[in-house]
Amino acid sequence: MKALDRLAADFRLASFGSAPKHTGPDHAVSDPAPSAPHPARRLSSVRSPTALIALISSVLPPPVRTYGLPIGATVVVAAVVAVVGPGFYRPANLHVVMQQYAVLGLVTIGQVLVLLVSGIDLSVGAVMNAALIIIALMNHYNENLLLVSLGLCILMGAGVGITNGLLVSLRDVPPFAATLGMTACVQGAILVYTKGIPAGNIPAALRPVALDGFGIVPFSLLICLGIGLVVIVFLSRGTYGRMIYAVGRSPEVARRVGISVTAVRVSAYALCGVLAALAGIILSAYVGYVDPAIGGTYNLQSIAACVVGGVSFVGGEGKPAGALIGALFLLTVLNVTTLSSLNPFTQLIVQGVVMLVAVSLFQLVKRGSFP
């Protein structure tokens, strides 16, 4: 009965051309409009495949809409891969995918937190670079300082995140500008300190974190999934999760009900910075060589994973589980195109088209309304 009410409400909202906003753990859609067309009447007006998808999605419960497409897309890609590139399912390849997923997954979890408070973090790549530089320089001649360097990486990530959060919250700097400026500052600091030539090495003791594990499952993946699980639980059941969604949906309303918007935002950016630093540590362990541009594409990849996973740019909408599935989808596409041995230029086109189709479909399914 409850599901039917929600369905009816969705239909009515859809008839006004507005998207029902999925509002985190307790998405209640109220204020139904009075003139909802009957589903059968809507079915008769379907004139295109996209409209059909929208209609089908409109009768799905919100959790299915939220996770359905990323899971469905990943399953479709996996099925296609089974036919065209069976090498994907080799244990060795799955091991590589898991190693790479652990890094992207961690960055994506951080990015979700920031997106949920209607921010964006373009400094995660720079934090990853800085983590590598700290590890490499502090362990240049001996590895006694490994633990200290790891602690310093986490502190650095938190520091960058807190600064981002304060700039956004207290100085009203747009998140895009604040984190982009922070990227320049962090990269500049790296260059000033290293003079453009980072000496040092990645300690051998760190490498098992990314290279070893239980069977084909690397330790790094367990770390990523463990953190992911904690974040999912906190966001869906805890007070902190409700505050995050409330701040993302409407900072004004959140403020009126006594939530410290600044504290919530700063904490989200700080966690994002910490997770980016952790990802940088794991990626350093995986690569095993001093590459000062190690965080290169992770800014955009993490944002893309979130978008594919249904996290909105406007804040307060989306789930970390969806983003993690989005990251898996993204990485699967990247892996499969690499395995395909296509021309690299063609690979880029394939990756782009698949992502665009996935995101377009997701928007359609999420909206549950005719375009």
Partner 1 sequence: MSIGLVRFWSRRTLAGVAVAASAVLTLVACGGSSGSSGTKTYTIAFISQGTSNSWAAQLDAVARKTAKADGVNLVYFNGQGDGTKQLPEIDAAIAQKPDAIVLVPLGGAADTGPVERAMGQGIKVILCDSTITSDNYTTLVTPHAETAAVPLAQWLADKMNHQGNLLYIGGLPGNTTTTTYDQGFNSVMKNYPNIHIINGGNANYSISTAKQLAATAIASGKKFDGAWGVGGEAVTGMMQAYLDAHVSPVPPIGGAAATNGILRLAIENKIDVASLQFPPTSSQVCIDTAVKAVKGQSVPHSINISELPQYGPILPPLDKYYKPQYSDDMYVGTDSVLTLDELKAINLVK
Residues that bind partner 1 (CB under 8 A): 85, 87, 90, 92-93, 95-96, 99-100, 191, 194-199, 201, 211, 283, 286-294, 296-297, 335, 337-339, 341-345, 347
Rank residues 159 and 292 by Cβ distance to partner 1 and give the closer one. Answer: 292
The least CB distance from residue 81 to partner 1, in Å, is 11
**Three-state DSSP state, 213:** strand
Least gap, CB of 72 to partner 1 (angstroms): 24
Sequence-distant (6+) residues with CB within 8 A of 36 are: 8, 11, 12, 15
Choice between 142 and 343, CB closer to partner 1: 343
Shortest reach from residue 353's CB to partner 1, in Å: 17
The CA–CA distances, whole Å, from 234 to 24, 203, 279, 292, 320 equal 12, 34, 20, 34, 10
Residue 334 Cβ vs partner 1, minimum distance, rounded to whole Å: 8
- What number of CA atoms fall less than 13 Å from residue 286's CA on the CB side? 25
**Closest separation in Å from C-beta 145 to partner 1:** 17
In the complex with partner 1, the residue whose CB is nearer, 182 or 232, is 182
Residue among 125 and 316 whose Cβ is closer to partner 1: 125
Report the nearest approach of partner 1 to the CB of residue 327 (Å): 14
| Residue 307 to residue 330: CA distance in whole angstroms | 11
- Helical H segments across 28-90, by residue range: 39-44, 49-58, 62-84
Following CA atoms 50, 353, 128, 117 in sequence, which dihedral angle do they give, to the nearest 10 degrees?
-20
Instruction: Return the number of the residue (195 or 256) whose C-beta is nearest partner 1.
Output: 195
How far apart are CB 98 and partner 1 at their closest, in Å? 11
How many residues does this entry show for the chain?
371
Whole-angstrom CA distances from 294 to 141, 185, 277 are 21, 17, 12
When the beta carbons of 188 and 226 are compared against partner 1, the nearer one is: 188
- Coarse DSSP helix, strand, coil percentages of the chain, rounded to the nearest 5 percent: 75, 0, 25
> From CA 297, how far away is CA 73, in angstroms rounded?
22
State the nearest-atom distance from the C-beta of 193 to partner 1, in Å. Answer: 10
Name the residue nearer to partner 1 (CB basis): 152 or 191.
Answer: 191
Q: In this structure, which amino acid lies at residue 80? A: V
177 or 230: CB nearest partner 1: 177
Q: Pick between residue 214 and residue 345 the one whose CB is nearest to partner 1.
A: 345
Cα 350-354-357 angle, rounded to 5 deg: 140
Helices 124-138 and 261-287, axial angle in degrees (round to 10): 50
- CB of 21: closest distance to partner 1 in angstroms? 37
Compute the least distance from the CB of residue 97 to partner 1, in Å.
Answer: 8
Q: Between residues 294 and 354, which has the closer beta carbon with respect to partner 1?
A: 294
CA dist 34 and 185 (Å) reads: 54
- What is the C-alpha to C-alpha distance for residues 355 and 8, in angstroms, rounded to an integer? 31
Cα–Cα distance for residue pair 150/235, rounded to 1 Å: 27
